């Protein structure tokens, strides 16, 4: 090949991203005297909202990257109000075509997976605001997502209308924080405020000392309005419930519920022992499984250098959606995130495996059958012959009415377990979801 021809066909590519720090490496290779190490930048793959939020907290972040030598922890806790941490993000979908295209799914609605990423980033920014202080000589806290208590989609979210995401701290414990978020999309200018809420979510963050890694106390919260006080009381009730479940929930289950366990296993035994006689409207849990895996890349890290929780939620949601789609045979409709546990951090370079299944189905409302999906993320280390659970996700889907209308004799199958371990997982999740439903009804 002619060398001149080869040169003329070469296209030079340069980054379209900018650093979240003012002092960044320049395109021409010159260095700023105070630039931050490239390895400690947040990943560059993230959504526009995530990048904007991380830039907003970059001053606190820079303290975390380069604290004073032997900087002491915060010596005196402050008392803050929910309004001090309240933060809102506006998505100008109606006027910004490029932004709209970044969030559009194949059905002209907002990609829920990307929204989960942004919700986690916003909750993280809010937690940083609440825990920050004026004394730049103390070392800042490391704040990590511990769990998502509940996330409910109240109506479809269009990608053609402007969207607002708003949240604030509603409760704090000694080292934990609960943040409530709302996604708002008015139907029209005269829409009632409650009718405009498209999604609600509650995130739990925990504070760690950035030097020792141990639990660290957080600033106190002083609710001001009646609504803030009510939200605080409800969050306190949820916290007590979580402690109770951690303490003796498993023991109570093991001491009883034998009949329920046996009833669940009965259907599965027929599939295993007499498959020709099994109910054709049922399916074994193991036959609904899907799995994918990835090596965690630097572009997916957060400001602490670990894999961003929002990225993990996005990947888990997309696998759950695919699992529901393959199981139902028609387009699934997302309803809610029942619960998410972040059990251990995921690091750059980790071999991560997501395993999903349809845990169980519900038919109380035949017009809206419920498909409950479990996704478990494992950090696998082939060299050590080990695999540890890092995250557990639970999603609920139904099927779109339009999809059912075009299917003659359409029916969702019942899912049955083949092992006692599968049956226990189903019952534990059913009971947890039932308890959550009672809690929300009593609000």
- Same domain for 294 and 408, yes or no, is yes
Question: What pLDDT does 39 receive?
Answer: 46
Q: Same structural domain for residues 174 and 289?
A: no
Do 73 and 193 fall into the same domain?
A: yes
The answer on 260 and 222 residing in a single domain is no
Residue 79 confidence (pLDDT): 92
Residue with tokens 């750059």: 348
Work out the number of other CB atoms within 10 angstroms of the CB of residue 408. 5
- Domain that includes residue 381, residue range: 256-441
Q: Which residues, 6 or more positions from 428, have their beta carbon under 8 angstroms from its beta carbon?
A: 250, 253
Cross-strand pairs, 178: 171, 204
Give the chain's largest Cα–Cα span.
80
Residue 1 resides in a domain: no
In a domain, 5, yes or no: no
pLDDT of 213 reads: 78
pTM above 0.85, yes or no: no
181-221 residue pLDDT tens: 999 998 776 666 677 999 999 999 999 887 787 889 999 99
Residue 137 sits at the vertex; the CA angle it makes with 135 and 138, to the nearest 5 degrees, is 80
pLDDT for residue 373: 97
108: left (phi over 0), alpha (psi -120 to 50) or beta: left
266 domain residue, yes or no? yes
On whether residue 36 sits in a domain, the answer given is no
The reply to whether 325 and 375 lie within a common domain is yes
Q: What is the CATH number of the domain that holds 151?
A: 3.10.129.10
Same domain, 398 and 321: yes
Same-domain status, 366 and 285: yes
At residue 437, the pLDDT reads: 63
Domain count across the chain: 2
Query: Where is the domain boundary, 181, 210, 228?
Result: 228
Amino acid 293: pLDDT: 95
On whether both 220 and 262 belong to a single domain, the answer is: no
Beta strands 220-221 and 79-80 are parallel
Pick from 17, 63, 1, 4: which is nearest to 303 by CA?
A: 63
Contact 311, 345 (CB under 8 A): no
Give the position of tokens 């409709």: 333
b/e string for 33-54 if b means 16 or more Cβ within 10 A? Answer: eeebeeebbbbbbbbbbbbebb
Ordered per-residue pLDDT tens for the chain, 443 residues: 555 544 455 544 444 445 544 444 444 444 444 455 544 455 555 667 766 676 665 555 555 445 554 666 666 788 999 999 999 999 989 998 888 888 999 988 999 999 998 999 899 889 988 988 765 667 778 888 999 988 999 999 999 999 999 999 999 999 999 999 999 998 776 666 677 999 999 999 999 887 787 889 999 999 999 999 999 999 998 888 777 766 554 544 454 567 778 888 888 888 888 888 778 889 999 999 999 999 998 888 876 778 888 899 999 999 999 999 999 988 899 999 988 999 998 998 999 999 999 999 998 887 789 999 999 999 999 998 889 999 999 999 998 776 655 455 567 899 999 998 999 999 988 888 877 665 555 55
Integer angstrom CA distances of residue 279 from 276, 413, 416: 9, 10, 10
Whether residue 132 is contained in a domain is answered as yes
Q: How many alpha carbons fall within 13 Å on the CB side of residue 187? A: 10
355 shares its domain with 420: yes
Q: Decide if 42 is inside a domain.
A: no
Distance CA 393, CA 374 (A): 6
- DSSP labels, 327-377: HHSS-EEEEEEEEEEE-S--BTT-EEEEEEEEEEEE-SSTTS-EEEEEEEE
| Co-location of 73 and 192 in the same domain | yes
> Is residue 362 domain-resident?
yes
Give the tens place of pLDDT for each residue, 348-359. 899 999 999 999
On whether the CB atoms of residues 127 and 169 are closer than 8 A, the answer is yes
Domain check: are 224 and 261 in the same one? no
Check whether residue 338 and residue 421 sit in a common domain: yes
pLDDT confidence of residue 32: 47
């Amino acid at each position: 090949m002619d060398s001149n021809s080869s040169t003329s066909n070469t296209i030079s590519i340069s980054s379209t991203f900018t650093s979240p720090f003012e002092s960044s490496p320049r395109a021409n290779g010159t260095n700023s005297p105070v630039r931050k190490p490239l390895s400690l930048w947040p990943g560059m793959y993230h959504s526009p909202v995530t990048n904007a939020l991380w830039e907003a907290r970059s001053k606190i972040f820079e303290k975390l990257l380069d604290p004073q030598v032997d900087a002491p922890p915060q010596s005196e806790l402050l008392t803050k109000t929910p309004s001090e941490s309240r933060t809102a993000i506006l998505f100008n979908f109606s006027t910004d075509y490029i932004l709209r295209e970044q969030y559009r799914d194949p059905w002209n609605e907002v990609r829920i997976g990307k929204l989960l990423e942004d919700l986690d980033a916003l909750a993280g920014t809010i937690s940083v605001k609440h825990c920050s202080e004026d004394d730049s000589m103390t070392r800042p806290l490391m704040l990590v997502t511990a769990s998502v208590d509940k996330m409910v989609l109240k109506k479809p979210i269009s990608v053609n209308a402007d969207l607002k995401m708003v949240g604030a701290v509603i409760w704090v414990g000694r080292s934990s924080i609960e943040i409530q978020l709302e996604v708002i999309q008015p139907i029209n200018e005269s829409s009632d405020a409650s009718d405009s809420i498209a999604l609600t979510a509650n995130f739990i963050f925990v504070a760690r000392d950035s030097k020792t890694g141990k639990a660290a106390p957080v600033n106190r919260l002083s609710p001001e309005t009646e609504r803030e006080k009510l939200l605080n009381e409800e969050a306190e009730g949820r916290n007590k419930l979580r402690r109770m479940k951690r303490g003796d929930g498993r023991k109570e289950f093991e001491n009883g519920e034998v009949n329920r366990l046996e009833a669940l296993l009965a259907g599965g035994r027929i599939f295993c022992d007499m498959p020709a006689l099994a109910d054709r409207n049922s399916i074994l849990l193991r036959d609904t499984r899907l799995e994918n895996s990835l090596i965690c890349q630097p572009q997916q890290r957060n400001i602490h250098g670990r894999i961003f929780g929002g990225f993990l939620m996005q990947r888990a949601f997309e696998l759950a959606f695919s699992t529901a789609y393959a199981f139902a045979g028609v387009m699934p409709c997302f309803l809610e995130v029942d619960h998410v546990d972040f059990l251990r951090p995921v690091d750059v370079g980790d071999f991560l495996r997501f395993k999903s299944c349809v845990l169980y189905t519900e038919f109380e409302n035949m017009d809206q059958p419920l498909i409950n999906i479990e996704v478990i993320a494992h950090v696998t280390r082939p060299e050590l012959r080990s695999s540890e659970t890092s995250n557990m996700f639970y999603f609920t889907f139904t099927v779109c009415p339009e999809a059912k209308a075009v299917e003659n004799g359409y029916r969702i199958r019942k899912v049955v377990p083949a092992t006692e371990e599968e049956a226990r997982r189903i019952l534990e999740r059913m009971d947890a979801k039932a308890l959550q439903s009672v809690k929300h009804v009593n609000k």
